[in-house]
């Protein structure tokens, strides 16, 4: 798939860099003890610090710092042992202190990297420029009253990690894949819930276009795009707009734009000339943040296996394809479920069972793997019963259906309902005889056309309530009907 877009004057390359705000998964705020629960009554979770009351002092939340370090390590990034909190000054009704505490010149985390897998099998490296900690602002509500605006400070002071990439992405697909991967990483780490609907993860998308291999073009920044689909749409629209503008003799002005998801287009919000001068300076209320290497090492030692490593292990140890392994590791819950399911089982049959039977049923019921009604262990039991020929593949699906709706242990279900596979040849032969006796015309047909043997297999399976071993049925039928070996 070409990443270029076609203009009237030839091909153009899209260049994308992202700034992602990820809310730290913490029950209290970055510099106060106020709660962070989503959906609380407006202004119910606001301390004097969050309300910008004069003389109130911020106190750093060690847990939030730890989550930033954890995330940095997960992004294979440089963790800076010394970093500084700065005041970013601007006036806004939902910013009562008149400044946001952020990190400017000395962020807590420096350069790192994320690898993304594209649909065609290509892997792309996206450089991480930095990660810094900052406070969220409050929220102005303009739709609550006909002629008044309200302010909700519940979000004021919540810890955000701003993760900035290098301009390394080249298509809307890469941009969406990057955000998906970043989301997977923070969810594996447990440092952010990645919930875009609740605003726990928001992306500012920088887009420019250039002649392939040429110098970077002027970028526009699209603010607060809050779904994977919108990111792709915003990039496509914006790149096309810039190409059309340049090709018709205009120049792209550096500006901040908004994405209108209803119209599928971006609109100017403010130009570079109108951009704020934030007058950053180190916050005199906060000392520089100094981290001990031993503490960083402890955090590093507690990191879970991350998607890339898990994928590599699934490919190496279980012989899975890059595609299968890649799909399994997108969610930690899915990967964990798979591992329990596949224990002692051929990995490929476990993947097929998961994809066809379990994910299919979950999809049908509108559930996720986290609330799957049948445990991985129970499914493992079913697969083991197929493998040791206690039950047929067909019966296995029935057993899953039963356990899915009624609960219980699959082995008990098989025993109690007499679903054990028939391998006793005399019983199967009896069923074959019955089918042959009842269908003399078909016997003539199958002798002329051995391909019709499948019909007999089906009938015998029906006779035995699906319990006959299909291989045995096949073999016996061939002898009984005197069919050639390769029929
Ligand atoms: P600023 O300091 O003005 O915020 P940065 O250099 O920090 O600018 O870049 C902000 C974001 O914009 C980064 O994600 C970066 O990758 C991206 N970016 C920078 N230049 C370009 C460009 N020419 N095209 C697309 N994205 C860009
Ligand atoms: Mg910047």
26 CB under 6 A from ligand 1? no
Which 3 state secondary structure label does DSSP give 199?
coil
102 CB under 6 A from ligand 1? no
Pocket test for ligand 1, best of 75, 103, 167 (most atoms within 8 A of CB): 167
User: What pLDDT is stored for residue 252 in this prediction?
Assistant: 96
Ligand 1 atom at minimum distance from 218 CA: 23
Concatenated DSSP letters of 409-424: -HHHHHHHTT-PPB--
pLDDT at 487 over 60: no
Both structure tokens of 409: 């242990």
Separation CA 423–CA 479 (nearest Å): 16
H helix intervals, 190-321: 228-247, 293-301, 307-318
User: What pLDDT is stored for residue 485 in this prediction?
Assistant: 65
pLDDT per position as a tens digit, 276-334: 789 999 999 999 999 999 999 999 999 999 999 999 999 999 999 999 999 999 999 99
Farthest-apart Cα atoms in the chain, separation:
99
Both structure tokens of 149: 């605006």
CA of 139 to the centre of ligand 2 (A): 23
Separation CA 3–CA 168 (nearest Å): 13
- The fraction of the chain above a pLDDT of 90, given in percent, is 80
Concatenated DSSP letters of 62-118: HHHHHHHHHHHHHTT-PBPSEE--EEEE---TT-TTSEEEE--SS-SB--EEEEEE-
Pocket test for ligand 1, best of 110, 113, 219 (most atoms within 8 A of CB): 219
Separation CA 8–CA 261 (nearest Å): 27
Residue nearest to atom 17 of ligand 1 (CA): 17
Enumerate the domain spans of the chain.
4-298, 305-416, 425-480
Exposed/middle/buried for 316, CB within 10 Å: 0-12, 13-18, 19+?
exposed
Lowest mean pLDDT among 30-34, 167-171, 455-459: 455-459
Q: CB neighbours (10 Å) of residue 367?
A: 12
Record the pTM.
0.87
Which 3 state secondary structure label does DSSP give 208?
strand
Exposed/middle/buried for 261, CB within 10 Å: 0-12, 13-18, 19+?
middle
346 CB under 6 A from ligand 1? no
CA of 165 to the centre of ligand 2 (A): 10
**Phi, then psi, of 306 in degrees rounded to 5:** -95, 170
- Compute, in degrees rounded to 10, the torsion defined by CA atoms 423, 426, 431, 437: 150
Both structure tokens of 158: 């919540």
pLDDT per position as a tens digit, 361-374: 999 999 999 999 99
Q: At the topology level of CATH, where does 425-480 sit?
A: Arc Repressor Mutant, subunit A (1.10.10)
């Amino acid at each position: 798939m070409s990443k270029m877009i076609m203009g009237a004057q030839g091909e153009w390359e899209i260049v994308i860099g992202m700034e992602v705000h990820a809310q730290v998964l913490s029950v209290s705020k970055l510099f106060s003890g106020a709660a962070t629960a989503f959906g609380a009554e407006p202004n119910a979770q606001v301390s004097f610090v969050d309300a910008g009351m004069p003389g109130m002092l911020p106190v750093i939340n060690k847990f939030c710092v730890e989550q930033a370090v954890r995330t940095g390590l997960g992004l294979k990034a440089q963790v800076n042992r010394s970093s500084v909190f700065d005041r970013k000054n601007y006036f806004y009704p939902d910013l009562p202190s008149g400044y946001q505490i952020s990190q400017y010149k000395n962020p807590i985390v420096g350069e790192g990297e994320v690898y993304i897998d594209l649909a065609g099998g290509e892997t792309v490296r996206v450089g991480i420029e930095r990660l810094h900690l900052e406070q969220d602002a409050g929220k102005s509500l303009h739709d609550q009253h006909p002629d008044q605006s309200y302010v909700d400070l519940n979000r004021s002071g919540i810890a955000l990690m701003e993760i900035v990439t290098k301009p390394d992405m080249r298509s809307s697909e890469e941009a969406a894949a990057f955000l998906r991967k970043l989301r997977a990483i923070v969810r594996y780490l447990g440092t952010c819930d990645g919930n875009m609907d609740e605003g726990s993860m928001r992306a500012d998308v920088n887009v420019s276009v250039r002649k392939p291999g040429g110098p970077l073009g002027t970028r526009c920044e699209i603010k607060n795009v809050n779904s994977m689909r919108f990111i792709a749409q915003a990039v496509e629209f914006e790149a096309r707009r810039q190409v059309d503008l340049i090709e018709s003799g205009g120049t792209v002005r550096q500006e901040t734009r908004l994405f209108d998801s209803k119209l599928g287009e971006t609109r100017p919000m403010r130009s570079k000339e109108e951009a704020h001068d934030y007058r950053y300076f180190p916050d005199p209320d906060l000392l520089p943040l100094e981290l001990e290497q031993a503490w960083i090492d402890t955090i590093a030692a507690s990191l879970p296996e991350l998607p890339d490593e898990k994928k590599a292990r699934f490919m190496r140890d279980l012989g899975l394809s890059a595609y299968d392994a890649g799909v399994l590791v997108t969610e930690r819950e899915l990967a964990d479920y798979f591992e329990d399911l596949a224990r002692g089982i051929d990995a490929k049959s476990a993947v097929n069972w998961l994809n066809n039977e379990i994910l299919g049923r979950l999809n049908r019921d509108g559930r996720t793997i986290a609330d799957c009604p049948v445990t991985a262990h129970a499914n493992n039991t079913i697969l083991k019963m197929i493998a040791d020929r206690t039950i047929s593949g067909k019966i296995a699906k029935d057993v899953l259906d039963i356990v899915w709706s009624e609960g219980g242990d699959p082995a008990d279900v098989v025993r109690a309902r007499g679903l054990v596979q028939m391998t006793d040849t005399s019983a199967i032969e009896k069923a074959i005889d019955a089918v042959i006796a009842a269908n003399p015309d078909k016997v003539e047909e199958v002798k002329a056309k051995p391909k019709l043997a499948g019909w007999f297999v089906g009938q015998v399976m029906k006779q035995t309530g699906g319990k006959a071993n299909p291989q045995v049925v096949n073999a016996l039928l061939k002898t009984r009907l005197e069919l050639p070996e390769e029929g």
